[in-house]
Amino acid sequence: MLNSIKIAFRNTLRNKRRTLLSVLAIAIGGFASLLIGSFVSSVNQGIQTGVARSSGHLHIHKKGYFDFGAGSVGEYDIEDYDAIIQKIKESSLGSYINVITPTLSIGGIAGNYAKNSSQTFVGIGLVADEQKKMQSWDGYGIDMPSEQSALENYHDGGLIGMGLAINLNLCQELKIKGCKEKKEKVNNAPIDEDIADFTIDEPIKEEGVMISLLAASSKGAPNIVRLPIEKVWKQTNKEMDDRFVAMPLHIAQQLVYGSDTKKVNTINVQLKSPDDIDKVAQDMEQFFAQNGLDLEVIKLSDFNPQIQKVIGMFSVIFAFVSMIIGLIAIFTVSNTMTMSIMERFNEIGTLRSMGLRRSGVRTYFLLEGSIIGIFGATLGVALAIIVTSIINSIGLMWTPPNVSQPTQLVFNLTDNIPLIVGVWIFLVIISIISSILPAIRASKMPIVDALRHN
């Protein structure tokens, strides 16, 4: 076999120009595949990092909330959530968890009565310190900008989306740069008594910029709370940015439950490693069953299915490009091998007349195709590593789909060994496949016709 490899290697060098073109075609194909694949990997990791920072990897709900909770305020909320969180931390699950924090999602109408402005809102009650820790998660090591700055110097007030701030005419009060505020409509009239009656019994001290939030309480009646706004927290999605309000958990609970028992509808769990999602979800379900807790676990792919759609779209793009590259490699190598056979009819006839079997002829040409594929794939990998390393060091910036501020353009290649090995093997196999038909034709050539050719 070693002797056959040496002969096949020398044969590939007979026509150096043609062999070089074939090697370059495969190398360029491999380079393009690795460039696109590493970029797709980085985008996918960036999307998952953004969701993990804002929502965690797992959601714990009371059974039924995921299906029916949106239309039943308070009915599927979790009591004694602090005790449940403490039990989880003290169990074997605690070693996998980076942050576990309660949240309360609410919706209603936000109003700036002084300027006759109102807008429907989607709000979340949160624990600021725990959310800040979640924003620093970087399980994939991509160093993506976080939203920690929105929670810096936080003093237990409200955070509002820029779009909602504009809709409520708060540009001047919040000193938003480049904000296009609507024409001001000052309202000096007192609040109507029938609306004022909705306000809960524990008013918040009014300081600075204030908005009113109206939402349905757990009893079905509307409640109003006055929320002091500290700063703007711009959201990546405009639809969400036009409606987003974040507030301390106790204020959200005050709005929904009033003086009743305080609950939450979600316990967010952020893991140290995204590789542990399935294992921790399964173990957590067993933990709830053993402790008689009427809770369920929803994985990131279920509570945010859009992620899988985006990842699937990029995967299809990568597969399509790889298919085109594979076809180009097949035609290039097949053409090279066909031309090589046409130039070596007499040699093939001589070898066959000396006793070389047809399988031996096929082996020679398959080995030649393999050598072209190996050199081309290796050169493509080397080019991709060099180019991506240069791009990563330059520090080019772009804004990914799920990030509100520019981040560095990164090609995740050197850490993605499965991608490199997969593309390398794919190109070598394609090169071998391209050589099969020419090799079969060469082996079936009659000895007499081959010897008298030309």
Tell me the range of 87-91, 134-138, 181-185, 193-197 where mean pLDDT is highest. Answer: 87-91
Local confidence band at 204 (pLDDT 50, 70, 90 cut-offs): very low
At 202 the pLDDT is 47
CA distance linking residue 78 with residue 99, whole number of Å: 18
Res 188: pLDDT: 55
Give me the percent of the chain exceeding a pLDDT of 90: 33
Nearest in space to 415 (alpha carbons), one of 382, 395, 385: 385
What percentage of the chain carries pLDDT values higher than 70? 86
DSSP state of 168: T
For residues 171-176, give the mean pLDDT.
84
What's the whole-number average pLDDT of the chain?
83
Q: Is the pLDDT of residue 384 over 90?
A: yes
- Give the Å distances, CA to CA, from 206 to 152, 209, 210, 249, 397: 22, 8, 7, 18, 42
Q: Is the pLDDT of residue 201 over 50?
A: no
- The dihedral region occupied by 403, where left means phi > 0, alpha psi between -120 and 50, and beta the remainder, is beta
Helix/strand/coil for 30: helix
**pLDDT at res. 203:** 47
23-77: pLDDT as tens digits? 898 999 899 999 999 988 888 888 888 889 989 999 999 988 877 766 666 678 8
User: Which pLDDT belongs to residue 195?
Assistant: 52
* Sequence ranges of the domains in the chain: 2-48+308-451, 64-293
Q: Please determine, for residue 359, whether its predicted confidence score (pLDDT) is greater than 70.
A: yes
What is the tens place of the pLDDT at every residue in 104-141?
999 999 998 778 888 999 999 999 899 989 988 988 87
